[in-house]
Structure 1
Amino acid sequence: MPYVRTVKTASGKTAVQIVWSSTKGSRQIEHLGSAATEAEVELLKAAGRQKLLAGQGELDLGIQPPPQAGGPLHITSSRMSHLWDSLSAAYDALGFDTAAQDEVFRQLVLARIIEPTSKADAPRVIAEAGITPASDRTITRRLNLYSAIGFREQLAAACAAQVNLGPATLVLYDVTTLYFETDEGDGFREPGFSKERRLEPQITVGLLSDANGFPLMVHAFEGNKAETKTMLPTLRAFMETHGLHDVVIVADAGMVSESNMDAIEAAGLSYILGAKMPRVPYVLEQWRKDHADQDVPDGLTLTARWPGGPSTKGRDATTFYQYAHDRGRRTIKGIEAQVAKAEAAVAGKASVKRNRFVQLAGGTRSVNRELEEKAKALAGWKAYVTNLPDPDAEQVIGSYRRLFQIERSFRMAKSDLRARPIYHRKQDSIDAHLTIVFAAMAVAHWVEQATSWSIKRFVKTARRYRTFTIAAGEHTITAVDPVPDDLAEALDRIKDRSQAH
């Protein structure tokens, strides 16, 4: 059974501890604090006993305090001070207190970081943190505000102020889908292409971030809207909101359709994009002719330039083709596995399943050797296209590779913050939910940058340490759980960074 004990320290004070377990001589000990007077010792011991009886409410512990304490002891409050105050400091440093001007919104955002759950269950999380929560009715009424035109834009403006936006700012773009457990669409939640191969109605969510993955804008689209048709509306809304005439948009090849490229060119925007290679490029064929007896060296980069014209507003386009040995090895292995399956299907030894190397002509099946040859010729190569003036290959490719930051942000939203709006049906309610998730992503990213910890690790560690307010008659004392050195260092970093803002 756990028990409370006191230990004399080298400084002459008395430490009060909870011994939680004792197995074969080893103990798990929680240090509650140190006291210099008998009154303080008794108050810490009372806090320890109350902690052992957590969940049984406030009760008279029957301890007779020293005369100077004056009265029975009981805990009047307990809160996750380290966690809540740190997250709140990040929230204020981002300017969300001014942008939202709504303490209920603060509670919902921080509660989603601490324990992602439904809006109806959020008051429980807030209360467990030691904060007086808003009522259910108040939260329900405020959701209309969070989905209103302009509210999310104010938060986005606060986020933009953190990254010093300008024409040369790198803006990363990516999309994800969030599905709903329902059978029928309603015009907004609709079945569409799903990377998870789900058939349920879904919505498509586009996210803009800076080069480090810090969220700048989130936009929701109908679930059956093609991913390639989401980038330009999100980008235009972002630029109009911040009065920008140009940014450097970075996106994967899957986001770039021919119409997208035309629209980007027509808008005169700068870009770094992944480029598709439907055929072997001329510069690659020429290099192979000139180096017929040589293997392609790892990291080889070839360049092709295209002069600008009226459609590109005179801006030249440059494509860099880079070879990576590991990428080529993995691609060749995949091609050979697919070709082997295609050969088995043609021989009638296996059923025909989606295999690009099976060629059907009339009623005849054959292996598409021409496609196999082209695929192997392109194995290991990746193309990057930009219209930046005098581009540097290393800089362009390095900027493109930052796309993993926005993918990481999406993973954080879908896992740590559970962005899928399970309990929402109407579009206004879904938009309000995404606004809360967007703000939570920004706060979580700020904390991660300040501490170099993952938000999951920070929350899991910091929530264990609480602050207790103990009443002894007319006197009150505050007892704080001492924190380990690594958490103390993380808390100091948050404090220093928030004060700098």
Structure 2
Amino acid sequence: MVWVRRVRTASGATAVQIVESVQGRRRIVRHVGSAHDEVTLAMLLQEADGLIVDDAQMQLDLGLHSTGRHVALLPEPTAPELLPEPPAPRGRPARPPRVTRSFSGLLYEVLAGVFDDLGFDVVADETFRDLVIARIVEPTSLLDVDRVLADLGRVSASLSTRKRTLKRAHDGRYRDLIATACFAHARSRGDISLVLYDVTTLYFEAEKEDDLRKVGFSKERRVDPQIVVGLLVDRTGFPLEIGCFEGNKAETHTLVPIIKSFQARHGIEAMVVVADAGMLSAKNLHELEDAGLSFIVGARQTSAPLDLASHYRWNGTAMVEGQIIDTLTPKHRGARADNDTQQRAEPVRRPQGAPASWRAVWAYPTKRFVRDNKTLTLQENRARAVIEGDKAARGTRFVKTSGSARSLDEAALARARMVAGLKGYVTNIPAAIMPAGEVISSYHDLWHVEASFRMSKTDLRARPFFARTREAIEAHLTIVFTALAVSRTIQDRTGLSIRKVLRDLRPLRSATIEAGGVVTDVAPAIPADKQALLDALRTPSSGH
């Protein structure tokens, strides 16, 4: 009878030995090795088992017969059994275990699990999934993706296969499949009757323009070719739709195409669209209303004196903290207002009663007034310095020029002081359906889409500077869109930023260990706090 036993040595190590029973007495057939930790011990035990039983022969020749070697017999051990360090093994020496690689397999497993939870496995393309996960972990070029995936324990597809995947993503309409899964996920969490929209620009370091990459308006004052990207999210910031437009396309012309695409994809008729003041164009608002949609957009502060003319006449220009005024604003610039200054009460918008106006809500937070007033003071001081000749005039506000003479525009400064602190909102939702406070709070949810854009630009590095053709750029944005959905879900489940989650989980590395010809993957030890994080990631948050 032959078996494997573990014996504690005098030095505190654990010896693994193959033992044979001969006429009731035990003898050591082979000393496999000594282990000082659990990983090495597991490897030695596995090697010993393999030496006893061989899959091909059923029983391995251990050299028990006709060896011509003397085998010392050991007395029956007592417990605890402490032996001196075993002598060097006879026959073929057992090579010490060694780590052949380490990898963050646990991190990949978690990210792939969230990917599948969101229903993105409907794409059924492992290479696409790998590209998405690599984008989350370490955004890099398509050429360098194999390095990132190798660190996650994955064998990357070839570069040519990765390029073909981008083509499949575009031709196979992967974005439609992902967007449909995103909609289903958002709907399962609750109300999606309100969506948020914003745009950003992504530039290219290219010498020439093409049909998509064009020089256009840039908040960063860049003159490089760029594209305009529109993003639609739910009220929590979870992405629902993404669109790509020519770099010279006005931001106001991107809203309606994205909304119509979203409606057509999901068969939606009624919903509320929230956007910032950049989307405030009469054409946009009329198209949204004609499509049966409600909207809330930011109002330009310069329209406050006209909107609040009746309020100012009857109540003066002084405001108090938290004051809200629900009134009307003309649908077209220069149009006659339905706000009758002869009426003391503020008008309420009704489609039949005020066809030339939208509903306007104005709020006065003191904190905003302090900020606006400080800015106006700085602008006034600069204007005076320009007038005195102490500073050069470079589009300075409140400087009035008449011939070669400059003077302070007192009237413009007074108007600006009068509306300091006011924040306006334009909507077509009647007050009976949505109170003014809810209009304001819904608009302020826009920070979620801004946060998603920041994540896509920083954590996911969305700028597709390695892509050149429209097909490749669209496919790249599909990967970023998918990665954004996974990242937002991770943040939602854990309450931590995606960067913090990656920093916590990436060091939990698995290892591939080779011992005596046996190769085994060993999982990492997981501290209690990291286990809590893993549990949160694997459990959908409430409302999902």
Q: Same fold (TM over 0.5)?
A: yes
Structure 2 equivalent of residue 349 of structure 1 = 390
Equivalent residue in structure 2 for 1:428, among 454, 471, 494: 471
Equivalent residue in structure 1 for 2:425, among 384, 393, 400: 384
Q: TM-score, normalised by structure 1?
A: 0.82
Matched letter for residue 114 of structure 1 = V
**Does 2:41 correspond to 1:39?**
yes
Equivalent residue in structure 1 for 2:165, among 132, 142, 145: 142
Task: Give the distance between the partners of 1:180 and 1:494, measured in 2 at CA.
Answer: 36
Task: Give the distance between the partners of 2:313 and 2:13, measured in 1 at CA.
Answer: 82
Structure 1 equivalent of residue 539 of structure 2 = 496
Percent of aligned pairs sharing the same letter: 39
Q: TM-score, normalised by structure 2?
A: 0.76
Matched letter for residue 340 of structure 1 = N
- State the SS of the aligned residue for 1:207: strand
Task: Give the distance between the partners of 2:543 and 2:310, measured in 1 at CA.
Answer: 55
Task: Give the distance between the partners of 2:354 and 2:205, measured in 1 at CA.
Answer: 45
**Does 2:261 correspond to 1:220?**
no
Do the aligned residues in 1 keep the contact of 2:229 with 2:244 (CA within 8 Å)?
Answer: yes
Do the aligned residues in 1 keep the contact of 2:301 with 2:422 (CA within 8 Å)?
Answer: no
- State the SS of the aligned residue for 1:157: helix
Equivalent residue in structure 2 for 1:394, among 437, 442, 448: 437
After superposition, the C-alpha distances for 1:370-404 in whole angstroms (9 at most, x for unaligned) are 11111111110011122224211221111111101
Q: State how 1:36-435 maps to structure 2 within 5 Å.
A: 39-40=41-42, 73-75=97-99, 78-98=102-122, 100-148=123-171, 150-164=173-187, 169-281=193-305, 284-292=308-316, 295-304=318-327, 305-309=348-352, 317-389=358-430, 390=432, 391-435=434-478
Task: Give the distance between the partners of 1:149 and 1:307, measured in 2 at CA.
Answer: 47
> How far off is 1:347 after superposition?
2.7
Shift in CA distance, 191/310, structure 1 to aligned 2, threshold 3 Å: farther
Do the aligned residues in 1 keep the contact of 2:272 with 2:293 (CA within 8 Å)?
Answer: yes
Matched letter for residue 39 of structure 1 = L
> How far off is 1:267 after superposition?
1.7
Structure 2 equivalent of residue 52 of structure 1 = none
Task: Give the distance between the partners of 1:321 and 1:251, measured in 2 at CA.
Answer: 16
Shift in CA distance, 43/78, structure 1 to aligned 2, threshold 3 Å: farther
> How far off is 1:344 after superposition?
2.1
Do the aligned residues in 1 keep the contact of 2:44 with 2:515 (CA within 8 Å)?
Answer: no
Matched letter for residue 405 of structure 1 = H
Task: Give the distance between the partners of 1:303 and 1:395, measured in 2 at CA.
Answer: 12
> How far off is 1:155 after superposition?
0.7
Do the aligned residues in 2 keep the contact of 1:253 with 1:275 (CA within 8 Å)?
Answer: yes
> How far off is 1:42 after superposition?
6.3
> How far off is 1:469 after superposition?
3.3
Equivalent residue in structure 2 for 1:437, among 459, 480, 489: 480
Answer with 458-467 or 114-123: which moved more: 458-467
- State the SS of the aligned residue for 1:383: strand
Task: Give the distance between the partners of 1:283 and 1:218, measured in 2 at CA.
Answer: 34
Task: Give the distance between the partners of 1:88 and 1:498, measured in 2 at CA.
Answer: 17
> How far off is 1:181 after superposition?
0.7
Structure 2 equivalent of residue 59 of structure 1 = none
Task: Give the distance between the partners of 2:484 and 2:279, measured in 1 at CA.
Answer: 23
Matched letter for residue 84 of structure 1 = Y
- State the SS of the aligned residue for 2:458: helix
Do the aligned residues in 2 keep the contact of 1:208 with 1:218 (CA within 8 Å)?
Answer: yes
| CA RMSD of superposed structures (Å) | 3.2
> How far off is 1:282 after superposition?
5.7
Shift in CA distance, 494/66, structure 1 to aligned 2, threshold 3 Å: farther
Gaps of 5+ in 2: 1-7, 15-35, 47-86, 328-347
Do the aligned residues in 1 keep the contact of 2:43 with 2:515 (CA within 8 Å)?
Answer: no
Shift in CA distance, 452/64, structure 1 to aligned 2, threshold 3 Å: farther
After superposition, the C-alpha distances for 1:226-285 in whole angstroms (9 at most, x for unaligned) are 111111111111111111112210000112212112212222211111122434346744
Shift in CA distance, 97/291, structure 1 to aligned 2, threshold 3 Å: same
Shift in CA distance, 262/85, structure 1 to aligned 2, threshold 3 Å: same
- State the SS of the aligned residue for 1:198: coil
Do the aligned residues in 2 keep the contact of 1:419 with 1:434 (CA within 8 Å)?
Answer: yes
> How far off is 1:151 after superposition?
1.9
> How far off is 1:146 after superposition?
1.4
Aligned residues: 449
> How far off is 1:182 after superposition?
1.6
Shift in CA distance, 362/137, structure 1 to aligned 2, threshold 3 Å: same
Task: Give the distance between the partners of 2:448 and 2:291, measured in 1 at CA.
Answer: 26
Matched letter for residue 487 of structure 2 = A
Shift in CA distance, 13/109, structure 1 to aligned 2, threshold 3 Å: farther
- State the SS of the aligned residue for 1:219: strand
Task: Give the distance between the partners of 1:220 and 1:311, measured in 2 at CA.
Answer: 37
> How far off is 1:192 after superposition?
0.8
Do the aligned residues in 2 keep the contact of 1:76 with 1:471 (CA within 8 Å)?
Answer: yes
> How far off is 1:71 after superposition?
6.4
Shift in CA distance, 310/117, structure 1 to aligned 2, threshold 3 Å: farther
> How far off is 1:184 after superposition?
1.8
Shift in CA distance, 290/13, structure 1 to aligned 2, threshold 3 Å: farther
Do the aligned residues in 2 keep the contact of 1:110 with 1:440 (CA within 8 Å)?
Answer: yes
Task: Give the distance between the partners of 1:194 and 1:291, measured in 2 at CA.
Answer: 41
Matched letter for residue 441 of structure 2 = G
- State the SS of the aligned residue for 1:411: helix
> How far off is 1:494 after superposition?
1.2
- State the SS of the aligned residue for 1:481: coil
- State the SS of the aligned residue for 1:435: helix
After superposition, the C-alpha distances for 1:99-150 in whole angstroms (9 at most, x for unaligned) are x110000010000111100011101110121111101110111211112263
Do the aligned residues in 1 keep the contact of 2:186 with 2:234 (CA within 8 Å)?
Answer: yes
> How far off is 1:364 after superposition?
3.7
Do the aligned residues in 2 keep the contact of 1:177 with 1:204 (CA within 8 Å)?
Answer: yes
After superposition, the C-alpha distances for 1:421-462 in whole angstroms (9 at most, x for unaligned) are 111111111111111111111111111111111111111221
Structure 2 equivalent of residue 456 of structure 1 = 499
> How far off is 1:491 after superposition?
0.5
Matched letter for residue 81 of structure 1 = G
Answer with 266-275 or 395-404: which moved more: 266-275
Shift in CA distance, 83/345, structure 1 to aligned 2, threshold 3 Å: same
Task: Give the distance between the partners of 2:350 and 2:197, measured in 1 at CA.
Answer: 26
